[in-house]
Amino acid sequence: MSKITLLNDGTEYSDFFARKIEADGNIVTRLTEKQQDTTSSEEMIEAPKNLEILWNKRSPLSARNAILTILNKYSCLNEAIIIYQPGFFNKTFHEMSSAVYDLQIDRWIKGYSYLLKEIIQLYIKQKEGRLSFILDKGGVTTLTPLENAIYNYLKILLKDLSVLYQNEPFQIFCFESETPKREEFLLFYDKVINDSKFTPGKIHRFGEKKSIFDFVRN
pLDDT along the chain (218 residues), means of 10: 92 90 94 63 45 93 97 96 84 85 92 97 97 90 88 96 96 92 91 88 80 42
pLDDT at 139: 78
What's the pLDDT score for residue 212?
A: 42
Q: Where do the structural domains in the chain lie, given as residue ranges?
A: 4-206
The three-state DSSP-derived secondary structure of the chain is CCCEEEEECCCCCHHHHHHHHHHCCCEEEEEECCCCCCCCHHHHHHCCCCEEEECCCCCHHHHHHHHHHHHHHHCCCCEEEEEECCCCCCCCHHHCCHHHHHHHHHHHHHHHHHHHHHHHHHHHHHCCCEEEEEEECCCCCCCCHHHHHHHHHHHHHHHHHHHHCCCCCCEEEEEEECCCCHHHHHHHHHHHHHHCCCCCCCEEEECCCCCCCCCCCC
Closest CA to 151 of 104, 198, 184: 104
Single pTM value for the model: 0.86
What are the residues whose beta carbons fall under 8 Å from the beta carbon of 116, sequence distance 6 or more?
82, 131, 133, 157, 161
Say if residue 210 is exposed, middle or buried (CB neighbours under 10 Å; 0-12, 13-18, 19+). exposed
Distance of alpha carbon 42 from alpha carbon 115, whole angstroms: 31
The third-level CATH classification (topology) of the domain covering 4-206 is: Rossmann fold (3.40.50)
* Residue 68: φ, ψ to 5°: -65, -35
Given this model, what pLDDT does residue 89 score? 67
What is residue 143's predicted lDDT score, i.e. its pLDDT?
87
pLDDT at 100: 87
Spatial CB neighbours of 38, under 8 Å, sequence gap ≥ 6: none
